[in-house]
Amino acid sequence: MFKKAVLGLSLFAFVGLTGCSSPWKVVKKAQTNPFTKSEMYTVSTTKTNNLSVGEMAEGVYLQQIGSQEQKRWRVGKSVFSNAFAKAIKNNVKGLNVGVHKPVKPNHFHIYSELYFASPYSENKGTMVKIRVRLMQRNRTFDILLLQFEAPAKGRIGRRMQAAGEELGKRLAKYLNERVR
């Protein structure tokens, strides 16, 4: 009994110190798994309606930066959405995935919302957080939170692309484990 407790604590300490953890946080998971490989999956454009940039609403942030930076920011969000969707499509195994197409009622819908991004800084990485809902016919089965800090390399567009690619790969990994 004592050995099991020591082993358990050791493993817990190892995981905590090495940073090993799941690349996503499951907020909601359907008890009965509805996902099958025979279904069509559609990735919609990432929504940004409730985006916070740092501790402020995106609109407030945009008022504080110049027009050139605003343009780069908007392009960065679009680049994120495209990179995210393509990474899912390219990394899932055995699933029929459509990107940015209209969602039909019988399709599973991969709905993503970019809800946080840290402000652009030349010296700091850019943290990006998204919420993903796996849905069908307006019924949400799974909800996940994913985050990634893109390294402080390049402008915001390159960072958002890196974040989209990494988060898309992580979601693809979840789908590869979840879909039967």
Residue 3 within a domain? no
Residue 15 within a domain? no
Residue 68 within a domain? yes
Residue 2 within a domain? no
Convert the pLDDT of each residue in 122-159 to its tens digit: 899 999 999 999 999 889 999 999 999 999 989 999 99
Grade residue 6 by pLDDT with cuts at 50, 70 and 90: very low
Domain count, the chain: 1
Residue 135 within a domain? yes
pLDDT on residue 8: 44
Question: Which of 51-60, 73-82, 101-110 has the lowest average pLDDT?
Answer: 101-110
Residue numbers of the domain that contains 41: 23-178
Q: What does the pLDDT average to over 94-121?
A: 91
Q: Could you give the CA distance from residue 93 to residue 177 in angstroms, rounded to a whole number?
A: 10
Judge whether residue 7 has pLDDT over 70: no
Q: Could you give the CA distance from residue 93 to residue 169 in angstroms, rounded to a whole number?
A: 12
- CATH code where residue 138 lies: 3.40.50
